[in-house]
């Protein structure tokens, strides 16, 4: 049998379980080789923003590959990548208008901190190298990106190898790390940034990085309206750069081109990936401000980091096509029109005793599960494993794909799921998603309560 875990040569994430072999995708649905249909309620890992099987995007891949697929960025530039960079400069907030391309979100966040480092080196501020980030965050799996990540389960096996960058507590109102309540808290979690940097000395720090809405590590945790304004002011005061990790939130996912726009704040660097190509090709990068660009250009004028596949014609052609498709089909408008409906349907799940919190922005939403709705007591990890995994597996069996997560309580306990359907989903498809999720929770609740 194709893909059987006993005969497959692929090293699969779970080496004890055979997963279905996919055959094709169409719209928000995927079909396996046996014809079973799955509603892609998480756009894979919140990447396939336009859904599957769009022929006109596939055709661009073929025609660009016929013309020229690859050139090396130090030898040639190319028309598609130049055009795509121009579109990104138009979309990005403020004067963020220079783009460096890579191939994954992890490379993008690492590239962002390398640019921050160079920005200060060019000014002779040679000690400015460390980066502050937050607990309950995910910035990627390569070692630099993992050093930034406050995702306990993903860090645990590599702790001695990771860089000891400091982390401030998460902004997580449902379980406030300071046991405060908003607005009485005066957003103490944001103010912690200044204290943390000053304890060591701002001369050692180059940047602060955060996801505007926390994805994998937190299950769509957002923050109060003042949060990023306080962070921005602190960065300016202490002369460090603000990096918005928009790998999951970019390109309309939360109802704006970039999620940081909800806070009316302009970062110095945006890291992007996933939605840039909507999964049709590996494509990621960083968009930097004119201030950073001019400092590099008027200094050494050289930027050394990069990868073989940085900024190829194929990547550029897909990026341009995806942006055109989004505009033609008013994809971000669809999120804005349906986000309240999706949230209202998700909130109807509070009728289940195990649904503790429903949250998110736009089409990046999450549900956190608890043993007790009032006390917010989390599930203990039992012999049947994590509740979030049980829910995700049961939903999958019923033909709904959602994304599991955990550890928001203390790095280990805590169960949540991410729901992030393609941005093109229709109202009746949201109803189908909610129907399967509702049934799933009912069944798992019967098992674990």
Residues that bind ligand PLP (CB under 6 A): 45, 104-106, 109, 138-140, 211, 215-216, 245, 247-248, 273
Cα–Cα distance for residue pair 147/158, rounded to 1 Å:
9
Angstrom distances, CA of residue 186 to CA of 170, 189, 192: 15, 9, 11
Q: What is the DSSP letter of 403?
A: E
Positive or negative, the Cα torsion across 268, 273, 274, 276? positive
Closest CA to 80 of 314, 251, 236, 258: 314
Q: How far is the CB of 29 from ligand PLP (least distance, A)?
A: 22
The strand pair at 96-102 and 284-289 is best described as antiparallel
Q: Which is nearer to ligand PLP, 378 or 420 (CB)?
A: 420
Q: Which is nearer to ligand PLP, 223 or 440 (CB)?
A: 223
* Omega prior to 135 cis, within 30 of 0: no
Q: How far is the CB of 13 from ligand PLP (least distance, A)?
A: 13
Q: Which is nearer to ligand PLP, 207 or 355 (CB)?
A: 207
Which residue of this chain has its Cβ atom nearest to ligand PLP in the complex? Answer: 105
Closest CA to 52 of 323, 423, 429: 423
Angstrom distances, CA of residue 287 to CA of 111, 128, 356: 10, 21, 37
Q: Which is nearer to ligand PLP, 97 or 142 (CB)?
A: 142
Q: How far is the CB of 247 from ligand PLP (least distance, A)?
A: 3
Q: How far is the CB of 105 from ligand PLP (least distance, A)?
A: 2
Q: How far is the CB of 34 from ligand PLP (least distance, A)?
A: 29
Angstrom distances, CA of residue 133 to CA of 123, 190, 336: 23, 11, 30
The number of residues making up the chain comes to 449
Cα–Cα distance for residue pair 185/213, rounded to 1 Å:
20
Structure tokens at 184: 């009485």
Q: How far is the CB of 299 from ligand PLP (least distance, A)?
A: 28
Strand partners, 134: 168
Q: Which is nearer to ligand PLP, 352 or 416 (CB)?
A: 416
Q: How far is the CB of 344 from ligand PLP (least distance, A)?
A: 26
Q: Which is nearer to ligand PLP, 92 or 247 (CB)?
A: 247
Those residues with Cβ within 8 angstroms of residue 160's Cβ, 6 or more apart along the chain or in another chain: none
Q: How far is the CB of 219 from ligand PLP (least distance, A)?
A: 12
Q: How far is the CB of 331 from ligand PLP (least distance, A)?
A: 19
Q: Which is nearer to ligand PLP, 96 or 418 (CB)?
A: 418
Q: How far is the CB of 79 from ligand PLP (least distance, A)?
A: 26
Counts for the chain of helices (H) and strands (E), in that order = 13, 15
Q: Which is nearer to ligand PLP, 104 or 365 (CB)?
A: 104
3-class SS of residue 26: strand
End-to-end CA distance of the chain, in Å?
37
3-class SS of residue 439: helix
Q: Which is nearer to ligand PLP, 107 or 339 (CB)?
A: 107
Angstrom distances, CA of residue 78 to CA of 60, 96, 280, 284, 317: 15, 21, 19, 17, 10
3-class SS of residue 65: helix
Contact 388, 369 (CB under 8 A): yes
Beta sheet of 205-210, edge-to-edge order: 96-102, 284-289, 269-272, 241-245, 205-210, 130-134, 167-168
Q: Which is nearer to ligand PLP, 93 or 140 (CB)?
A: 140
Q: Which is nearer to ligand PLP, 243 or 323 (CB)?
A: 243
Q: How far is the CB of 129 from ligand PLP (least distance, A)?
A: 21
């Amino acid at each position: 049998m194709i893909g059987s875990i006993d005969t497959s040569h692929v090293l699969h994430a779970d080496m004890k379980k055979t997963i279905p072999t996919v055959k094709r995708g169409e719209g928000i649905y995927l079909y396996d080789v046996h014809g079973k249909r799955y509603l892609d309620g998480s756009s894979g890992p919140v990447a396939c923003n336009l859904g599957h099987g769009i022929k006109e995007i596939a055709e661009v891949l073929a025609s660009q590959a016929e013309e020229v697929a690859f050139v090396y960025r130090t030898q040639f530039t190319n028309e598609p990548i130049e055009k795509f960079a121009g579109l990104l400069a138009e979309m990005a907030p403020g004067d963020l208008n220079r783009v460096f391309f890579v191939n994954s979100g992890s490379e993008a966040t690492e590239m962002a901190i390398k640019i921050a480092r160079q920005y200060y080196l060019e000014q002779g501020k040679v000690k400015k190298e460390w980066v502050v980030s937050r607990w309950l965050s995910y910035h990627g799996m390569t070692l630099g990106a993992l050093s930034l990540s406050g995702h306990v389960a993903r860090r645990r096996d590599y702790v001695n190898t990771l860089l000891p960058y400091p982390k401030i507590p998460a902004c997580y109102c449902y379980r406030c790390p300071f046991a405060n309540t908003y607005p009485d808290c005066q957003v103490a979690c944001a103010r912690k940034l200044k204290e943390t940097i000053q304890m060591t000395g701002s001369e050692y720090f180059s940047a602060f990085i955060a996801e505007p809405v926390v994805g994998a590590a937190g299950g769509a945790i957002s923050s109060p309206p003042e949060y990023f304004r306080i962070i921005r002011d602190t960065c300016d005061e202490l002369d460090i750069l603000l990096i918005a990790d928009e790998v999951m939130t970019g390109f309309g996912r939360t109802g704006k081109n970039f999620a940081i726009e909800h806070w009316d704040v302009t970062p110095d660097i945006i890291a992007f990936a996933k939605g840039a190509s909507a999964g049709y090709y590996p494509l990621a990068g960083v968009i930097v401000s004119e201030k950073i660009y001019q400092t590099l250009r008027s200094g050494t004028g050289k930027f050394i980091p990069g990868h073989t596949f940085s900024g190829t014609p194929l990547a550029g052609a897909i990026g341009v096509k995806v942006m055109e498709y989004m505009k033609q089909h008013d994809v971000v408008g669809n999120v804005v029109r349906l986000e309240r409906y999706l949230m209202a349907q998700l909130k109807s799940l509070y009728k289940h005793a195990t649904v503790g919190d429903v949250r998110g922005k736009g089409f990046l939403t999450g549900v956190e599960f608890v043993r007790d709705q009032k006390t917010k007591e989390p599930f203990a990890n039992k012999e049947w494993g994590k509740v979030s995994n049980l829910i995700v597996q049961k939903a999958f069996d019923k033909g709904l794909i959602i994304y599991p997560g955990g550890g928001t309580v203390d790095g280990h306990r805590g169960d949540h799921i991410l729901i992030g359907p393609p941005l093109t989903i229709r109202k009746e498809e949201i109803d189908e998603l909610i129907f399967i999720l509702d049934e799933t929770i009912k069944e798992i609740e019967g098992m674990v309560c």
